[in-house]
Amino acid sequence: MIISLHVTHLSAGMDGLEGAMNRLGSVLEEGLSIEGADEHVVLSTCNRFEVYVAANRAEDARRSLLSLVRGRVPYSRNGASAFILEGRESVQHLFKVVCGLDSLMIGEDQIQHQVKEAYLRALRDGGAGPRLRGLFERALSVGKRVRSETALNNGAVSVGSAAVQLAEESLGDLEGRVVTVVGAGEMATLIAKSLRGKGPRSVFVSNRTYENAKELAYQLDGVAVGMDSLPHVIAQSDIVLVATAAPHVVLDRATVERAMEGRASRLLLIDVSMPSNVDPSVKEVPGVDLCLMDGLKDIALGNIERRRKEMADAEAIVCEELEIYQGERDAMEADELIRVLNRKIAHIRERELDRACRRAGAGGSEEVIEDLSRALVSKIMADPFCRLKEACRNGDKELCRAAEYLFGLEGD
């Protein structure tokens, strides 16, 4: 059975998700082991922390997943910040995630890449086996189909482009503005793409790895600077966009205070890192406006309103693909059940045939064959008869009806 654990921007809120990510990060560094499951894939992005497992013992796996978040994930006002999905619901959720239907920014493109990276990492580390391999390869295929057959991601709003949009809503036109981007990874690159054509006067890019800063600055026709130069470039900037993968504060209050010394104009700081990379006390510095991931909600809601039809089209594909996947899985389970049943019957046949052959050697072949036929029927049906009697005693009418259908007894 597929079982999955979820802590998302919808269940926990961005604040709750950030706190959870801080605590769960150490667990993953130590290595993840899920009792009752021999396969797992971990998906960790700025919108979610999810673990998908192929469980051999469902109850043990469920208990192990819950213990992973117990004491690490806060309880939200509206219910549990972490939740468990099983079977069909778990598969459907993954399909929607890959398509961008469950993202903060509906239709985002980067989630497909993030799911693929999580899956490939699990393959390399030995976490993903045949069951999760089939699930994730199908999910990625569904994501590609949605993007090719619908307009869900046309002009898709990413978190990076939403940050730039928020800057425009706060300050107006960005033409002639001075912008600093802190970070040079995936999210910072999305921000950079969204800045193109906005006409900023100057763009500074800073990152702990200077070569990466130079590469991104080149794309923006900007200037790469070291982290030690941040107070100087922030002092010249109208907007600072922070997007790094660091698990700690990158921009502290002292740095911002130094940048604001003697400055008359206001500074807009937008931090889309997860966890936040800006010291929250920065908002207390005079002249500084700080916006975190939670501040992108209004833009996200507007994005949903614009994509109502595309969302419905994508949902229809997800439902169709879910039915196909479930049908294939059910057929595989039936094939496996038949294989195991055939093996059991063959074992009984071989054992009884061997016994009959030894008796036939002493004469009385006709009697031996008759006894063999009775023994075969008796041994093969022993377990089904026993379980049917138990089902009848317990009032399990469903199993009795299933047996009636399986053996073609409805008309007898």
**The predicted structure's pLDDT at residue 325:** 92
**β pairing state of 239-242 and 223-225:** unpaired
Q: Which two tokens stand for residue 315?
A: 């949902």
| Residue 152, φ and ψ in degrees, nearest 5 | -60, -40
Residues 6+ apart with CB under 8 A from 280: 290
**The predicted structure's pLDDT at residue 352:** 73
Q: E strands, 233-373, where?
A: 239-242, 267-271, 288-291
CA–CA separation, 355 vs 308, rounded Å?
A: 70
Collapse the DSSP code of 14 into the 3-class scheme (helix H, G, I; strand E, B; otherwise coil) and give the result.
helix
Taking only the tens place, the pLDDT of each residue in 332-388 is: 765 665 666 667 777 777 777 777 777 666 555 767 777 777 777 777 777 877 777
What one-letter code names the amino acid at 58? A
**The predicted structure's pLDDT at residue 61:** 92
Residues 6+ apart with CB under 8 A from 180: 203, 204, 205, 206, 230, 233, 234, 237, 239, 240, 241
Q: Which residue out of 46, 319, 392, 400 is catalytically annotated?
A: 46
**The predicted structure's pLDDT at residue 331:** 73
pLDDT at 20 over 80: no
Q: How many CB atoms lie within 10 A of CB 84?
A: 17
pLDDT tier at 52, thresholds 50, 70, 90: very high
Report the percentage of the chain scoring pLDDT > 90. Answer: 37
**The predicted structure's pLDDT at residue 101:** 92
CA–CA separation, 320 vs 142, rounded Å?
A: 10
**The predicted structure's pLDDT at residue 33:** 80
**The predicted structure's pLDDT at residue 51:** 93
Answer for the pair 35, 60: CB distance below 8 angstroms, yes or no. yes
**The predicted structure's pLDDT at residue 156:** 55
pLDDT at 145 over 90: yes
Among 3.30.460.30, 3.30.499.10, 1.10.10.60, 3.10.20.30, what is the CATH number of 2-156?
3.30.460.30
**The predicted structure's pLDDT at residue 155:** 67
Q: How many CB atoms lie within 10 A of CB 349?
A: 15
- Please name every residue paired with 182 in a beta bridge, in sequence order, or none if there are none: 206, 242
CA–CA separation, 39 vs 121, rounded Å?
A: 13
DSSP secondary structure letters along 56-84: SSHHHHHHHHHHHHTTTSPPBTTB-SEEE
| C-alpha distance from residue 78 to each of 7, 81, 302 (Å) | 14, 8, 23
CA–CA separation, 74 vs 57, rounded Å?
A: 27
- Determine whether 46 is an active site residue: yes
CA 156 to chain centre: 19
The boundaries of every CATH 3.30.460.30 domain in the chain are 2-156
Helix locations, 361-396, DSSP H: 365-393
pLDDT at 122 over 70: yes
CA–CA separation, 59 vs 21, rounded Å?
A: 25
Range scoring the smallest mean pLDDT among 9-23, 87-101, 205-219, 250-264: 9-23
Range scoring the smallest mean pLDDT among 146-155, 220-229, 245-254, 345-354: 345-354
DSSP secondary structure letters along 273-310: -SS--B-GGGGGSTTEEEE-GGGGHHHHHHHHHHTHHH
Answer for the pair 272, 185: CB distance below 8 angstroms, yes or no. no
| C-alpha distance from residue 405 to each of 174, 329, 356 (Å) | 71, 22, 33
Interaxial angle between packed helices 58-69 and 9-30, expressed in degrees from 0 to 180 and rounded to the nearest 10:
90
CA–CA separation, 96 vs 319, rounded Å?
A: 10
The boundaries of every CATH 3.40.50.720 domain in the chain are 159-298
Collapse the DSSP code of 85 into the 3-class scheme (helix H, G, I; strand E, B; otherwise coil) and give the result.
strand
Whose tokens are 């700080």? That residue is 290
**The predicted structure's pLDDT at residue 116:** 95
**β pairing state of 37-44 and 48-55:** antiparallel
CA–CA separation, 102 vs 52, rounded Å?
A: 16
Taking only the tens place, the pLDDT of each residue in 313-327 is: 999 999 999 999 988
What one-letter code names the amino acid at 301? L
For the domain bounded by 159-298, which CATH number is listed?
3.40.50.720
Answer for the pair 292, 105: CB distance below 8 angstroms, yes or no. no
Cα Rg of the chain (Å, integer):
30
